Amino acid sequence: MKHLLFLVLLVSLSASAQKINTFYFKKEDVFVGTKDEADYIRIITVALTKGEFSDVKEYYRNDLLKREGKSSSSGPHISWEGNVVSYDTTGTKVSEITYKKGLLSGEASFYYTNGQLKKTLVYGVDMGMDKVIDIRRTIKYKLANYYAPNGTELLKNGNGFISEVDTENDLAEEGNYVNGLKDGIWKGVFKKDNAYEEVFKDGEFVSGKVKLADGTVNEYSKDAELPDYRGGMTKFYEYFARNYKYPPMAREGGIGGRLLISFVVEKDGSLSGINLLKDLGYGTGEEALRVIRETRRWVPGRQHGVPVKVSFTLPIQLQMTSSPSRK
């Protein structure tokens, strides 16, 4: 009877065991291979039941919690779902944000280091609201409220003048909100020495000009631009197909499928932090990395008219019957 009880217990423990995935990242959300290289660690407890979301916890190098929430993906890159809470390196809560299918959706709250609520936004991808780009994707939102560190309400029901400092993105700007949307002239300083002035109408960006640190003045028609391969991504995949040499073992084995590669486009258009996130084996990933390392400089991303570094995740589809392509 004791042996039977032990067997039942063992089966029960095995059934409840969960798979845990651990990944390491640099600050720019660049995947790295070891803990020593990482700025933070992402630990994903994979959901046991199909249709459920996996639990995600991220930790700083000092072991304090960085961010927690749920994801429909088990990594290394994730698609947030529901409420996601973020903390700074001291353990203080900095934001609570709601996601749906990886997109900002619904209410989001941001806090000062003293715990005081700083601002409340409402995000929505189909709300017909202000277009704001975080350099990775287009996000629409309305600003509902904004408070000073002492709790004084500076913007109520989406109306008022605010002056805001964003230390994480090295940005300080000020201007008017009308009905939750940027309106009129906005002035700011980006990356310490780049002073810009932008015009908005009902939340829509109209025009901008920036005075760079060297005194040069540039005008721009977009408040943010993603980096791009010179000639466009179609040209990039043409370049990749011309230069990719299918490894003999992969060809003999009929290996095909999708590779996933991440890298950072630097401010000068060069590529850094090139990593293989998903490999098919048989030398397929190594060859893809070689081709990407040898690519020419890209057109860098820009924010407020200033070149910025941007992280990229790139899918490469390998097919035996045709040239490598984007899926």
Mean pLDDT on 281-296: 94
Whether pTM > 0.75 for this model: the answer is no
Question: For the segment 39-81, what is each residue's pLDDT rounded down to a tens digit?
Answer: 999 999 999 888 899 999 999 999 999 999 999 988 787 889 9
Question: For the segment 237-257, what is each residue's pLDDT rounded down to a tens digit?
Answer: 999 999 999 999 998 888 889
Higher per-residue pLDDT: 25 or 173: 173
Mean pLDDT rounded to a whole number for the chain: 86
Residue 44's pLDDT is: 95
- Domains of the chain, residue spans: 233-318
Question: For the segment 178-203, what is each residue's pLDDT rounded down to a tens digit?
Answer: 999 999 999 999 988 899 999 999 98
Question: For the segment 71-126, what is each residue's pLDDT rounded down to a tens digit?
Answer: 998 878 788 999 999 999 999 999 999 998 888 888 999 999 999 999 999 987 44
Reduced 3-state DSSP string for the chain: CHHHHHHHHHHHHHHHCCCEEEEEECCCCCEECCHHHCCEEEEEECCCCCCCCEEEEEEECCCCEEEEEEECCCCCCCCEEEEEEEECCCCCEEEEEEEECCEEEEEEEEECCCCCEEEEEEECCCCCCEEEECCCCEEEEEEEEEECCCCCEEEECCEEEEEEEECCCCEEEEEEEECCEEEEEEEEEECCCEEEEEEEECCEEEEEEEECCCCCEEEECCCEECCECCCCHHHHHHHHHHHCCCCHHHHHCCCCEEEEEEEEECCCCCEEEEEEEECCCCCHHHHHHHHHHCCCCCECEEECCEEECEEEEEEEEECCCCCCECC
| CATH class of the domain defined by 233-318 | alpha beta
